[in-house]
């Protein structure tokens, strides 16, 4: 069959998002091909959309009841949804149809071990308890920025994208997720500066939800929320004397010049001092030092800066962020 040749496991694993799109089209063309539903279920497993996996695998089994691979994929999704008894039944039925597939034996052992250790027949109650425990404590969120974007991360694991609702506005963003009809997480932030609503996006990942917002200006935000001061700048046509009741007059132009001189003489600290040091090393360095610095900084995504061309010149420089930070490619 043509569809089986095109939608192999290797093709799906290479890019599951594109595989879902292609399989959606294939399903629309022919609703009676069990293999297409089964391969779309595999793509959803890779994307952790386990509820969609159960739907597609069940549809594949309606069309082809003795389809062992569909039983396997349905069982995997049910296991991750903590439906352990249903998962065990799916794996057992699949093993009866395909005893040579070792995956069934391994999954059956895992399910039985979990059921014996917890003493429960199904994980639905445990799942609800876990969700309530998540909302009982404060779910953490954090943010960071690039020159062009603000990125907010909400630390919720295995969120179902259908349950996540996000609304972007020019100066605010709100996100919510339902754990149950009575239990909902919500977050609303009033942004310090405006964002371009049309260029904002949401990603539901395995360990978090990511909100990416495009800045209207390439400027550094001092903080995420608040009210930016409305600063107006003007310059009089002619310098005016500073009004004062004092008999002594001051030369304000001279005072401004002195302040600027003090600012120029001020020694940089923190990041500014570090950047100044790197600039000096680069300016004073040999061609090999400059090449090493350029190559290491570019290939590591800004996480490594080396001056040793012998060390970095013969091989790619790997990304190496600090232990307490996570490198992100934008």
Q: Say which CATH number the domain at 189 has.
A: 2.60.40.790
Query: What pLDDT is recorded for position 252?
Result: 66
Which stretch of DSSP H or E encloses residue 53? helix 50-63
**Looking at 82, 102, 125, which one is the last position of a domain?**
125
Residue 328's pLDDT band, with cuts at 50, 70 and 90, is: low
Residues 197 and 174: their CA atoms lie apart, in Å, by 12
Structural domain contains residue 302: yes
What's the sign of the alpha-carbon dihedral 118, 122, 125, 131? positive
Query: For residue 130, is it within any domain?
Result: no
What's the pLDDT tens digit per position in 144-188? 999 999 999 998 888 888 888 999 999 999 998 877 666 778 889
What's the Rg (C-alpha) of the chain?
30
Does residue 225 fall inside a structural domain?
Answer: no
Is residue 120 domain-shared with residue 142, that is, in the same domain? no
Q: What pLDDT, on the 0 to 100 scale, is given for residue 24?
A: 87
Same domain, 89 and 42: yes
Looking at the domain assignment, is residue 27 inside a domain? yes
Global confidence as pTM: 0.39
**Are residues 120 and 190 both part of a single domain?**
no
C-alpha closest to that of 143 among 87, 76, 226, 267: 226
What tens digit of pLDDT does each residue of 228-287 get?
765 554 455 555 555 555 555 556 677 667 777 776 666 666 667 667 777 777 788 788
Any domain includes 241? no
Tally of domains in the chain: 3
Q: Is residue 147 part of a domain?
A: yes
User: Of the candidates 215, 235, 258, which is a domain's last residue?
Assistant: 215
Q: What value does the mean pLDDT take over residues 2-15?
A: 68
**Of the candidates 151, 185, 215, which is a domain's last residue?**
215
Q: Note whether 14 and 121 are same-domain residues.
A: yes
Same domain membership, residue 83 and residue 32? yes
The larger pLDDT score, comparing residue 327 to residue 16, is at 16
Q: Are residues 93 and 25 in the same domain?
A: yes
What is d(CA 291, CA 284) in angstroms, rounded to the nearest whole number?
13
Q: Is residue 28, in this structure, part of any structural domain at all?
A: yes
| DSSP line for 232-297 | -----SS--PPP-S-SS---HHHHHHHHHHHHHHSPP-HHHHHHHHHHHHHHHS-HHHHHHHHHHH
pLDDT of residue 298: 81
Q: Are residues 114 and 178 in the same domain?
A: no
Residue 125 has pLDDT above 60, yes or no: no
Q: Are residues 71 and 21 in the same domain?
A: yes
Q: Are residues 159 and 73 in the same domain?
A: no
Q: Taking a C-beta distance cutoff of 8 angstroms, is the pair 318, 302 a contact?
A: no
Is the model's pLDDT at 121 over the cut of 60?
no
State the pLDDT at residue 4: 43
Kindly state whether residues 96 and 18 are assigned to the same domain.
yes
Greater confidence (206 vs 55) lies with 55
Question: In terms of pLDDT, which residue wins out, 52 or 120?
Answer: 52
In a domain, 93, yes or no: yes
More confident residue, 228 or 13: 13
Q: Which domain holds residue 22?
A: 2-125
What pLDDT, on a 0 to 100 scale, did the predictor assign at position 58? Answer: 93
Residues 147 and 104 in one domain: no
Same domain, yes or no, for 191 and 274?
no
The average pLDDT across 302-324 equals 77
Print burial letters for 314-325: b (CB count within 10 Å at least 16), e (below 16): eeebeeeeeeee
The CATH number assigned to the domain holding 24 equals 1.25.40.10
């Amino acid at each position: 069959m043509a569809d089986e040749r095109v939608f192999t496991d290797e093709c799906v694993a290479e890019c599951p998002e594109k595989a879902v799109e292609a399989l959606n089209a294939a399903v629309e063309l022919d609703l009676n091909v069990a293999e297409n539903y089964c391969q779309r279920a595999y793509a959803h497993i890779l994307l952790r959309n386990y509820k969609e996996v159960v739907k597609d695998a069940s549809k594949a089994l309606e069309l082809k009841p003795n389809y062992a691979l569909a039983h396997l994929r349905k069982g995997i999704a049910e296991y991750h949804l903590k439906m352990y008894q249903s998962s065990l039944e799916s794996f057992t039925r699949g093993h009866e149809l395909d005893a040579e597939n070792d995956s069934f034996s391994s999954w059956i052992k895992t399910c039985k071990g979990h059921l014996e250790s917890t003493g429960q027949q199904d994980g639905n109650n445990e799942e609800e308890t876990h969700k309530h425990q998540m909302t009982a404590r404060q779910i953490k969120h954090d943010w960071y920025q690039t020159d062009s974007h603000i990125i907010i991360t909400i630390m919720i694991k295995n969120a179902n994208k259908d349950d996540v609702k996000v609304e972007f506005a020019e100066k605010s963003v709100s996100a919510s997720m339902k754990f149950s009809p009575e239990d909902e997480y919500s977050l609303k932030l009033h942004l310090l500066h405006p964002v371009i609503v049309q260029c904002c996006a949401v990603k539901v990942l395995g360990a978090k939800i990511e909100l990416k917002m495009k800045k209207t200006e390439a400027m550094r935000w001092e903080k995420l929320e608040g009210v930016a001061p409305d600063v107006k700048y003007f310059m009089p046509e002619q310098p005016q004397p500073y009004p004062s009741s004092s008999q002594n007059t001051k030369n304000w132009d001279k005072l401004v010049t002195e302040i600027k001189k003090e600012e120029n003489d001020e020694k940089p600290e923190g990041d500014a001092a570090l950047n100044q040091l790197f600039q000096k090393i680069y300016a004073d360095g040999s061609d090999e030092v400059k090449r090493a610095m350029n190559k290491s900084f570019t290939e590591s995504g800004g996480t490594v800066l080396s001056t040793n061309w012998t060390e970095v010149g013969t091989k790619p420089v790997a990304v190496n962020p600090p232990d307490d930070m996570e490198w992100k490619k934008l």
